[in-house]
A and B are shown apart, each in its own frame.
Chain A
């Protein structure tokens, strides 16, 4: 747990970088510090590990004032990824990652084993990369090593200053996914800086939005999107904030049961009668074991044809973990009104439709309009 209590920082030249900041990051929570350039994010991070002394206020880690601890001990317990990566150019990837283990005097083989483990964790092949030097890596690989390095001695707390800053959007997206996957496993208490609203929404359990050294709003992503506190927040999250809200939900959160599911072995005319009764123009078709096969329409059903002959195979399907914004664009791209959601065994779990998504959006807009 990290707690900032009325923290303020005034630099020697009079710049008030942080003003009266109160923030509490819970155990295992992923807290994102968000804000425009120069709003004091880096300053706040460096105050946590005492690279920058505070002017006013107190910072506690697990209830202990950080100034009560020996500074180097404190820092070895906080994984730190700096804004500019800052790998040591004269040390190998292995030595870079094992910096804190080395400082903690772990035996050499254990350091190397740890470096290998962490490289694998960030999606790099230890065999290829462990003995390289930082200048022999691409920018994205360097940032991964930076992330691996901050995990070096398995610290309970991570302080990460734009760890995915200088990467192209595709690699960045991949790294974000990987990091979320890692975090789900290791459950660290994380303070994570970014100035990218999309990254904040995707990664954060809670988002602290700062402006000119002041904390403007501290809330979970859904609240930040649905009820921005003031004009600044509204502008910062963007005019498309309702659409952005779709990123917060997965298909499995809102999908519905299909109106009618038909097994491939059923009699066509009975199926047709059922569809007429329920006024349905189409039904979804599965194998006897539940595997999804495709669609059938009312017009195609004939006594002379088996059901297998009239299947319309699906052009696109989604998984339960597909984000709603992705699901929506899949539907728009392939011009279908209903998207089948399949599990990894291709069994049909449910469907998404424009109506369902519209209802979700409607709820969010409703929430937004009821704000005080």
Chain B
């Protein structure tokens, strides 16, 4: 609860600053963005993030999962290696490369974000499933669960918190990366920031930056709650017991 109070205060502060900046109307010869414009940019921003994230989840979890299978044991080190190295490439470079290869615009941004967001999801799915106690999987098999039942009833529920953590990380990072994607003409809050930088007017930059930060914080809290909700109760009890030790 304390956590949510903090989040609420921060959000109120960021939104307050945004409203305040917007209410200035203009700075010198430069007109501020209107409230409508900020809302539509925020929605656009969310749209980019959501599209990339849905793709990333749809592709990342299966890839991460398959990497743990025996049949893929020769490919998976390469895949996981790429996922690890890929995450060290700075977002700016990533967006730059995507812009150069795919051209400007919304689609290029979504694709770049999607690739970037897939990496932590692959990694966490892989780690989450591999870290399960082999005895648990063996018990499941030994009692006559089919391969699909072992996966759906044991492996995925147990790995779910770790996978959710991967999704949360990738979403939050993506909110920031999407702002950079303003550079390649994808729109969203990044476009406001770019404009502000171009004309060197701090309040305009804030008009784009503050909502971006608010979005990241809100999504982080939301997904944190979801992660908590999706963690099987038995695992929460386990974690609590380990804390007390």
Q: Which residues of A contact B (CB under 8 A)?
A: 46, 49, 51, 71-77, 80, 82-92, 99-100, 103, 133-136, 149, 152
Asked if residues B234 and A80 are in contact (CB atoms below 8 Å), the reply is no
What A residues does B36 contact at CB under 8 A? none
Asked if residues B144 and A74 are in contact (CB atoms below 8 Å), the reply is yes
A86 to B135, CA, bound (A): 5
Q: Which residues of B contact A (CB under 8 A)?
A: 133, 135-136, 138-146, 149, 154, 157-158, 232-235, 237-238, 241
What B residues does A82 contact at CB under 8 A? 135, 138-139, 142
A103 to B146, CA, bound (A): 9
Asked if residues A72 and B136 are in contact (CB atoms below 8 Å), the reply is no
Given contacts A76-B143, A88-B234, A89-B234, 10 further A-B pairs with CB under 8 A are A75-B142, A75-B143, A75-B144, A80-B142, A86-B133, A87-B136, A88-B158, A90-B233, A99-B145, A135-B237
What A residues does B238 contact at CB under 8 A? 89, 133, 135
A135 to B244, CA, bound (A): 12
What B residues does A74 contact at CB under 8 A? 144
A214 to B154, CA, bound (A): 36
Asked if residues A72 and B139 are in contact (CB atoms below 8 Å), the reply is no
A71 to B141, CA, bound (A): 10
What B residues does A71 contact at CB under 8 A? 144
Chain A residue nearest in CB terms to B137: A86
Instruction: Pick the contact of A86: B136, B235, B241 (CB < 8 A).
Output: B136
What A residues does B158 contact at CB under 8 A? 88-90
Asked if residues B234 and A133 are in contact (CB atoms below 8 Å), the reply is yes
What A residues does B140 contact at CB under 8 A? 88, 99
Asked if residues B144 and A76 are in contact (CB atoms below 8 Å), the reply is yes
What B residues does A134 contact at CB under 8 A? 234
What A residues does B144 contact at CB under 8 A? 71-77, 100, 103
Nearest CB on B from A155, distance (A) = 10
Contact A90 to B139, CB < 8 A, known contacts A72-B145, A133-B237, A135-B234: no
A100 to B158, CA, bound (A): 19
A135 to B235, CA, bound (A): 8
A91 to B136, CA, bound (A): 12
What are the 3 A-B residue pairs with the smallest beta carbon separation, nearest first? A86-B139, A75-B144, A90-B232
Chain A residue nearest in CB terms to B146: A72
Chain B residue nearest in CB terms to A83: B135
A80 to B141, CA, bound (A): 10
Nearest CB on A from B86, distance (A) = 31
What B residues does A91 contact at CB under 8 A? 232, 234
A135 to B243, CA, bound (A): 12
A326 to B235, CA, bound (A): 44
Asked if residues B234 and A92 are in contact (CB atoms below 8 Å), the reply is yes
Nearest CB on B from A49, distance (A) = 6
What B residues does A77 contact at CB under 8 A? 144
Nearest CB on A from B187, distance (A) = 42
Nearest CB on A from B80, distance (A) = 23
Asked if residues B138 and A90 are in contact (CB atoms below 8 Å), the reply is no
Nearest CB on A from B211, distance (A) = 38
A75 to B138, CA, bound (A): 12
Nearest CB on A from B155, distance (A) = 11
A227 to B144, CA, bound (A): 41
A73 to B145, CA, bound (A): 9
What A residues does B157 contact at CB under 8 A? 90
Asked if residues A51 and B138 are in contact (CB atoms below 8 Å), the reply is yes
What B residues does A49 contact at CB under 8 A? 142
A135 to B144, CA, bound (A): 24
Asked if residues A103 and B145 are in contact (CB atoms below 8 Å), the reply is yes
Instruction: Pick the contact of A88: B136, B141, B146, B233 (CB < 8 A).
Output: B136
Asked if residues B145 and A90 are in contact (CB atoms below 8 Å), the reply is no
Contact A135 to B142, CB < 8 A, known contacts A90-B157, A92-B234, A103-B149: no
Asked if residues A51 and B141 are in contact (CB atoms below 8 Å), the reply is yes
Instruction: Pick the contact of B237: A86, A136, A152 (CB < 8 A).
Output: A136
Chain B residue nearest in CB terms to A82: B139
Give 6 CB contacts A-B under 8 Å: A73-B144, A82-B135, A87-B136, A88-B154, A89-B238, A90-B234
Asked if residues B234 and A99 are in contact (CB atoms below 8 Å), the reply is no
Of listed A73, A77, A99, residue having the most chain B CB within 10 A: A99
A167 to B154, CA, bound (A): 26
Asked if residues B142 and A87 are in contact (CB atoms below 8 Å), the reply is no
What A residues does B143 contact at CB under 8 A? 75-76, 80, 99-100, 103, 149, 152
Nearest CB on B from A53, distance (A) = 13
What A residues does B234 contact at CB under 8 A? 88-92, 133-135
What B residues does A83 contact at CB under 8 A? 135
Instruction: Pick the contact of B135: A75, A84, A92, A99 (CB < 8 A).
Output: A84
Nearest CB on A from B234, distance (A) = 4
Nearest CB on B from A124, distance (A) = 17
Nearest CB on A from B73, distance (A) = 13
Asked if residues A89 and B235 are in contact (CB atoms below 8 Å), the reply is yes
A90 to B237, CA, bound (A): 9
What B residues does A149 contact at CB under 8 A? 143
Asked if residues A133 and B233 are in contact (CB atoms below 8 Å), the reply is yes
Asked if residues B237 and A51 are in contact (CB atoms below 8 Å), the reply is no
What A residues does B138 contact at CB under 8 A? 51, 82, 86
What A residues does B142 contact at CB under 8 A? 46, 49, 51, 75, 80, 82
Nearest CB on A from B129, distance (A) = 14
A300 to B157, CA, bound (A): 78
Asked if residues B146 and A135 are in contact (CB atoms below 8 Å), the reply is no
